[in-house]
Structure 1
Amino acid sequence: MAEPAPSRQLSVIARRVAAAAVSVALAGGAVACGPKDSSAAGGAEDAPKKGGTLTILNSDPQTDFDPARLYTSGGGKVPTLVFRTLTTRNRENGAPGTKVVPDLATDTGRPSKNATVWTYTLKDGLKFEDGSPITSADIKYGIERSFAAELSGGAPYLRDWLVGGDTYEGPYKDKSKDGLKSIGTPDEKTLVFHLKKPEGEFPLLATQTQFAPVPRKKDNGTKYEEHPVSSGPYKVVKNTGDGEHLVLTRNENWSEKTDVERHAYPDTIEVKSGLDSAVINQRLSTGSGADAAAITTDTNLGPAELAQIGNDKELQKRVGTGHFGYTNYLAFNPEVKPFDNPKVRQAIAYAVNRQSVVNAAGGSSLAEPATTFLPNQKSFGYTPADPFPAGKTGNPGKAKELLKQAGYKNGLSITLTHSTAKNFATSPDVATAVQEALKKAGITVKLAGLEDNDYKDKVHSIKDEPGLFIGGWGADWPSGGPFLAPIFDGRQIVKDAYNFNHAQLDDPAVNHEIDEINKLTDLTAAAGRWGALDKKIGEKALSVPLFHPVYKRLYGKDVKNIVISDWDGVLDPSQVAVK
């Protein structure tokens, strides 16, 4: 997703990922290590053990610690230590971690023939932190309260997918006995979801925290975040500064027999947030006191730290490498001249020097060149393609030829809008790299840098959207669905709020194929179709993929069992043990 938006469209990962604009490469870059249970890989002395305190040092405060308001989906985040959901992700390194697996449910869901009805059965022995049983009614209620206006902020899909979801206002206003009727609870262990249309990826949606159970009697509205009732291995015993300081201790009523994905190794987890990224990396590097047993789930390594690590073999061993499905790209608005001319768009695609862009984004250790809109991961349906092959450094000659065909034999002048924020998606350094590359093709680029909030308001407004800007998008789960649909489905064009379909593409053939893929419950087959659709859209030259980010995260010297999956590229605290 891009950045968070008032429309509640797909959009939070960008704010969770800090940039590292540096051209220092890590020789033989360190990789994430550690299986789901590393005791099988070595002797007893290597096996992770229970006990101790894990510290998490983060830049962004863990605000709104309420499952209805959180925007997360089963990744390596703090909320998944407290909130279990119907499904979750497989807690393993790399590509295996993109698989959806059961959590509170016995399986990942049983679809009807047309995938408009999904049925789940809860496991036996599930309990809240107070020892009371978790029932289907608790999960239904947890979902219903996410529709309340005062608890907004979570993912928007349920409002769009559930029958009646577009008009339902949550349990505080709805006093009816049945609540949201499209969620059936025929008994204490069964849930039945009725959808407006086929959604083969419902098991992936069921990883969102809106699917966490909430006991109705314990719900105190907006104050619930102060002490949410845990269904996971840890419970909240302290929450101060609106999430700046969280203390989690063991939930005695959580049973590992019902939860094979999470490991509750530390006795206590202390989350300290609102810290400067440089401070976080310095503390992790030094490893004094409690910081020796510390990790971060939101802070990348910056220039100074990478330079230091390059000369320190011991620090190199403590770098985890993560890949999250995210693409940075040039976005065209064909409603603005000269970008209404496909040959102009194609010329820019040929002129881009991806090597210089990668260097501007931090070098090959922090960015990988992109020629497809979909990320280069199998789970998204990645299919290698390059509709306008220009090599690593661009093809200005081909670009000039296309410009001549478009009627611009003497070149042209255009404006590139970008954010002035120093982040990987819209970095001024990336904008400058694009400017210099296009100059060689006879294209004069004026850079229009905007303060980040102004930038977001402008590029997501149908009325004010510029003809060319730098954008970025990441998916809420590893699939082509939440990646391509929000950007290229014409029915998701938003005229009076945040719009993400920058090209304002409303192609019946594209819309139809999105619907056909959504009917598939075989996610492998769906991935192949998403890849083919990505290739088809790419040929329209509505965007120029630039690069996919790579995340480098440092961790303390006294932590072990490091797991970083390709679901979100984040170090998973549910797997970490302290020495």
Structure 2
Amino acid sequence: MRQRSAISRRAAAAALVLVVVTGAAACAGPQDGDARGDGSGGGEPRRGGTLTVLNSEPQTDFDPARLYTSGGGNVPSLVFRTLTTRNREDGAAGTEVVPDLATDTGRPNADATEWTFTLKPGLKYEDGTPITSADIKYGVERSFAAELSGGAPYLRDWLIGGSTYQGPFTGKGKDKSKADGENKGGNGLDSIVTPDDRTIVFKLRKPAGEFPYLATQTQFAPVPRAKDTGTRYEEHPLSSGPYKVVRNEGDGERLLLERNPHWSATTDPERKAYPDTIDVRSGLDSAVINQRLSTGSGADASAVTTDTNLGPAELARIGDDKELAARVGTGRFGFVNYLAFNPKVKPFDNIKVRQAIAYAINRTSVVNAAGGSALAEPATTFLPEKEAFGHTPYDHFPAGPTGDPEQARKLLKEAGHEKLTITLTHSTEQNRQTSPEVATAVQEALKKAGITVELQGLENNAFNEARWDAAKTPGFFLSRWGADWPSGAPFLAPIFDGRQIVRDGSNYNHAQLDDPAVNREIDEISKLTDLDAAAKRWGALDRRIGELALDVPLFHPVYKRLYGKNVKNIVISDWTGVLDISQVAVA
């Protein structure tokens, strides 16, 4: 019997409650046509066949060091196993972290500054060679190399020596004749210790009760030093999962996976690996993807998408077709869309102005602009409405579904403004999250409260550069944030921890909040390995920060995605919010 973390015990008890109350993951409450994770698709799942994945975004940088994945990713997790992984079950049960390459979810010392993992016996790569703890260590170390950047940043902050380590391709041991970055020795991190082939120990500079979550990231996938080809490793990474890469075209636009003959299901109870082949086709237009999935001709009958939502018009059309409606999977990922304030910019330095805007927001019109109630749910809390995150209900500025312009006017007057003109910065990309439609809905709502909003639309890259630049952050802008794992830690710490303010890079603390009491509470919660207790405190901290009116939560997105008529065994968890392709069958 596999060992589980404290969150596993919580999720098991809470799963039924969450499904009933929030329509978690695969089921959106009583709506007809929403696919449940009960093997929908007709018939029992069997081995064989080819699963086609139709995506809009190419699977670029297919190297475990460069991938930024939540819970081991979706396509990547078919090739890269990690020390731990997400539990591959529906709804709230899917927020559990469970063992993968390791025998358990890690063993902490007394203050959670040291974590020890033991590898399962008999683990092998696609070429039949054994997977060792040294390979895990090397896989982590190479993720620090500048030429392989792109993965989650936590290890640089958490590991002793991580803030200055530059990876194994620099210093003594590097073969400088290899322009592609191949390493012939290299310097290692002393804070990662491998006393034997099956044991690995991580030494941290501060307590990290949620280290088992971090160990789901692909940076923890094993990479044998002798087979590392540096920046070319993505062309043929050595598989530790049920599938191996046999073709990678156009930097991930076409990724063909076939069975890894040395993968053993006895060491991997999470991945079902039903199909013989997985053919990932990317770089496609979203309308084309949804049309192909709805028509279901030829190979498209056995196809899914992991990144393309249905739009309002498509949902309306599908609603009249019972067969198509039965092939819509519904999921909710830990995500919030919000209005962000930079209090260093006037008039947002005045809390009453920020409160007035919070009261004026018409969340009904915002939700409609985001695609309607089928694709967005109104939010008054920063944390998503999930048990694993520690969600604690609150609404510090209750204005009902359509706003309270009179209360907003009253607060503006108290702030010294009869009328006010401000600028709202947003992306011009049609993504229904930080888009012109949402910005216009905010503009119209604030107008009723005597606030004139001038819209500043920026191309998406320019928009991101502006909102993440501490020196140039706009005073008022649309933003969004998603969690790297289902907990309050990766949700609140990057946004509100004053020590994570970045002056010369991407800064996510938009308000540049540096409150010693908030920082201290983040540290105290981070020490906890009892994740039930930690979740409650994250919820309480969210409520406390919410009183500062540093943001206005707008909505949590809902994912609605079609899958082919031959696809069986639908599993959609609250960790990712999307169909888990490691579970589906097409035969």
Q: TM-score range by the shorter chain?
A: over 0.9
Counterpart CA distance in 1 for 2:292 and 2:576 is 24
Counterpart of 2:525, as a letter, is I
Q: Which residue is equivalent to 1:359?
A: 368
Deviation per residue, 1:115-160 (Å, 9 max, x gap): 0000000011111111111110011111111111111111111111
Shift of 1:29: 4.9
Question: Is the contact made by 1:97 and 1:567 (CA closer than 8 Å) also made in structure 2?
Answer: yes
- Alignment-derived partner of residue 296 in structure 1: 305
- The CA distance in 2 between the partners of 1:372 and 1:177, in whole Å, is 47
How far the C-alpha of 1:359 sits from its partner, in A, is: 0.6
Partner SS for 1:417: strand
Kindly indicate whether residue 111 of structure 2 is the aligned counterpart of residue 128 of structure 1. Answer: no
Alignment of 1:275-314 (within 5 A): 275-314=284-323
Q: Is 1:75–1:572's contact at 8 Å kept on the other side of the alignment?
A: no
Instruction: Tell me if structure 1 keeps the 8 A contact 2:71–2:213.
Output: no
Distance 1:63 1:177 in 2: 27
Give the drift of 1:258: 0.2
**Which SS does the other structure have where 2:195 is aligned?**
strand
For the pair 1:71 / 2:68, whether they are aligned, the reply is: yes
2:34 match: secondary structure: coil
Measure, in 1, the Cα distance between the counterparts of 2:297 and 2:355. Answer: 54
Aligned residues: percent identity?
74
Mapping of 1:79-98 within 5 angstroms? Answer: 79-98=76-95
Q: In structure 2, what residue type is equivalent to 1:456?
A: N
Could you tell me which residue of structure 2 aligns to residue 483 of structure 1?
A: 491
Q: 2:426 aligns with which of 418, 431, 435?
A: 418
Distance 1:537 1:109 in 2: 32
8 Å CA contact 2:34–2:325 kept in 1: the answer is no
Match of 1:4 in 2: none
Q: CA RMSD in A?
A: 1.6
Give the corresponding residue for 2:246: 237
Deviations 1:326-349 (A, max 9, x none): 101110111111111111110110
Q: Deviations over 1:472-495 (max 9, x none)?
A: 000111111010001100011111
Q: 1:324 to 1:135 in 2, by over 3 A?
A: same
Q: Give the 3 Å change call, closer, same or farther, for CA 76–116 of structure 1 in structure 2.
A: closer
Distance in 2, matches of 1:34 and 1:361, equals: 26
Match status 1:343 vs 2:352: yes
The answer to whether the Cα contact below 8 Å between 2:70 and 2:576 also exists between their aligned partners in 1 is no
Deviations 1:70-118 (A, max 9, x none): 1113255100000000000000111110110000000000001000000
C-alpha contact (below 8 Å) 1:76/1:571 kept by paired residues? no
Report the TM-score, using the length of structure 2 for normalisation: 0.91
Q: CA deviation at 1:552?
A: 0.3
SS in 2 for 1:275: coil
Q: Distance in 1 between matches of 2:461 and 2:383?
A: 26
For 1:420-467, what per-residue CA distance to the aligned partner results, in whole angstroms no more than 9, with x for missing partners? 111132011111111111111111111111111111111111222111
- The answer to whether the 8 Å contact 1:89/1:99 transfers is yes
Change (3 A) 1:78 1:177: closer
Change (3 A) 1:219 1:75: closer
* Contact 1:416–1:431 (8 Å) recurs in 2: yes
Q: Residue in 1 aligned with 2:7?
A: none
Q: For residue 549 of structure 1, what is the aligned residue in structure 2?
A: 557
Aligned with 1:577: secondary structure? coil
The residue that corresponds to 1:19 in the other structure is none
Partner of 2:526: 518
Aligned with residue 442 of structure 2, among 434, 458, 462? 434
CA distance in 2, matches of 1:185, 1:347: 56
Q: Which 5+ residue runs of structure 1 have no aligned equivalent?
A: 1-24
Contact 2:370 2:438 in 1 (8 A): yes
Give the Cα separation in 2 of the matches to 1:352 and 1:73: 31
- Which of 307, 323, 330 is 2:332 aligned to? 323
Residue 216 (1) aligns with residue 219 (2):
no
Deviation at 1:226, TM superposition (A): 0.7
Instruction: Quote the Cα distance in structure 2 between the aligned partners of 1:305 and 1:544.
Output: 30
Match of 2:538 among 520, 530, 534: 530
Contact 1:30 1:321 in 2 (8 A): no
| Distance in structure 2 (CA, Å) of the matches to 1:391 and 1:495 | 38
Superposition deviation, residue 34 in structure 1: 2.9
Is the aligned partner of 1:393 residue 2:411?
Answer: no
Write out the 4+ residue segments of structure 1 that deviate beyond 4 Å after TM superposition. Answer: none
C-alpha contact (below 8 Å) 1:73/1:205 kept by paired residues: no
Residue among 372, 377, 382 paired with 1:368: 377
Other-structure match for 2:568:
560
Distance (whole Å) between structure 2 residues aligned to residue 28 and residue 485 of structure 1: 35
CA distance in 2, matches of 1:407, 1:98: 47
Code of the residue aligned with 1:119 in structure 2: it is T
Contact in 1 for aligned 2:168/2:187 (Cα 8 Å)? no
Change (3 A) 1:162 1:118: same
Name the structure 1 match of 2:44.
47
The match for 1:268 is: 277
> Quick one: structure 1 residues 327 and 296, their matched pair in 2 at CA, closer, same or farther if it must change by over 3 Å?
same
**8 Å contact 1:162–1:196 — kept in the other structure?**
yes
Show CA shifts across 1:4-39 (max 9, x none): xxxxxxxxxxxxxxxxxxxxx99925334235xx5x
Q: Among 413, 427, 432, which residue is 1:404 paired with?
A: 413
CA distance in structure 1 between the aligned counterparts of 2:581 and 2:45, rounded to whole angstroms: 13
Partner of 1:6: none
Where 1:46 maps in the other structure, the secondary structure is coil
Matched, 1:457 2:465: yes
Q: CA deviation at 1:311?
A: 1.0
TM-score (norm 1): 0.93
The aligned amino acid for 1:453 is: N
The answer on 1:30 being equivalent to 2:30 is no
SS in 2 for 1:560: coil
State the shift of 1:172 in Å.
Answer: 1.4
Separation in structure 2 between the aligned mates of residue 499 and residue 406 of structure 1, nearest angstrom: 29
> Does 1:157 pair with 2:157?
no
Give the letter aligned to residue 80 of structure 1. S
Alpha-carbon separation, structure 2, partners of 1:418 and 1:567: 28
Distance, in Å, in 2 between the alignment partners of 1:574 and 1:31 is: 20
Q: 1:192 aligns with which of 189, 193, 201?
A: 201
- Of 139, 149, 153 in structure 1, the residue corresponding to residue 136 of structure 2 is 139
2:491 is equivalent to residue 448 of structure 1: no
* Displacement of 1:497: 1.6
Residue-by-residue CA offset, 1:344-401 (whole Å, 9 max, x unaligned): 1101100001011001101110000000011111111100000111111111111111
* Per-residue Cα deviation, 1:162-187 (whole angstroms, up to 9, x for no partner): 00111111111143777111000000
Decide whether the 8 Å contact of 1:76 with 1:572 is kept in 2. no
Change (3 A) 1:64 1:315: same
SS in 2 for 1:578: coil
SS at match of 1:331: strand
